[in-house]
Structure 1
């Protein structure tokens, strides 16, 4: 949200600028510039060698399971996920736009082709079987209809009515756009709750879709987050 300065703040800013003109210029910083924000909306579908990805995926299985189904609820399932989404997340970890003690180090050693191959491998694996969601729950309401009174849009608008990701061009956008939205169905309630909480508190930004999710999550209270997480796990 763009915030306008008050007159007082604007005057203060001008006075500080005047003082700064009289002060000696500071030494140039040697700190590297952050990588530009990835614009995922312009990302075409990626393609990779799934067999080559499988050969490199053994280390991934320690957390995400040998078949892409996570071994613990704090890790995401990767099986059946959009290859383009997986590639973009690996790239974000490698470029420093997302930070995680494990994934940052893992992605640092990957070439661009490695990331494409790993993404293709996990996308080709069978996703976790569908569950039995409660269509009358608060989570179902938020997922399918949102909460206009709280400014919360329906999750299905980007993630598909069954949480499996959009299956056609998203909202009339070019066909390249919808590949960037992740599959949510079957992710653990713990993981979804953790990620929504990070978006809510501004801890996760990542690629440009992260800004969208921050705007959505900031209007969710803790009860809403837990309700959504439980519903998504049941999909």
Structure 2
């Protein structure tokens, strides 16, 4: 299961129906699953999109029409759902995985994202997210074009990542069991 089930979609507040088109069972290309993230994290991302601080043409268009109450309702709804049980893709690049594990340890990713990278209240889950999404996010943090709910932490950490580090980290996190 990749996102909200049909039953959960039927129980979703009306404002969440549009979200499910990309972030539900069938993830749209580049769209991460949002079910199971903390309400605060979801709300902050929507506020960042609405304010234009986080850039994505589709998400900015969606978020600009959301009221504060809509954002609170979406955060509460998606946080109430379990994170989708995803099977990681087969790991056919052991050297890249090892390099990613080394980079994750070196940059202390677990300090904020938890020992298993499943997230904590203040920092989101990063394990088993789509590899391309993770690479883009890390690149955006490095370029200081993506705001972080953790203040400057992600920008500071990602600022020292090389292209090879980003590729390795994204791969490692995407294939975690």
Report the TM range for the smaller structure's normalisation.
Answer: 0.7 to 0.9
1:141 to 80, 102, 119: 102
Distance 2:151 2:132 in 1: 19
The two structures, once aligned, show a CA RMSD in angstroms of: 2.5
Distance 1:54 1:71 in 2: 20
Distance 1:209 1:196 in 2: 14
Check the 8 A contact 1:97/1:207 in 2, yes or no. no
Gaps of 5+ in 1: 1-50, 147-152, 167-178
Evaluate the alpha carbon distance shift between residue 164 and residue 208 of structure 1 in structure 2; reply closer, same or farther with a 3 A threshold: closer
Higher helix content, 1 or 2: 2
Evaluate the alpha carbon distance shift between residue 98 and residue 198 of structure 1 in structure 2; reply closer, same or farther with a 3 A threshold: same
Distance 1:126 1:186 in 2: 14
1:155 to 94, 109, 126: 109
Correspondence for 1:149: none
Gaps of 5+ in 2: 1-9
Check the 8 A contact 1:130/1:185 in 2, yes or no. no
Taking structure 2 as the reference length, the TM-score comes to 0.80
Q: CA offsets per residue over residues 182-228 of structure 1, 9 Å max, x none?
A: 11122100000011111112222x24525221111111111111111
Report deviation, 1:156.
0.5
Number of aligned residue pairs: 163
Instruction: Give matches, 1:92-103, under 5 Å.
Output: 92-103=48-59
Distance 1:161 1:92 in 2: 27
SS in 2 for 1:58: helix
1:180 to 122, 125, 133: 122
Correspondence for 1:71: 28
Residue 61 of structure 2 corresponds to residue 111 of structure 1 = no
Correspondence for 1:88: 44
Q: Which has the larger radius of gyration?
A: 1
Check the 8 A contact 2:35/2:81 in 1, yes or no. yes
Check the 8 A contact 2:41/2:149 in 1, yes or no. no
Taking structure 1 as the reference length, the TM-score comes to 0.62
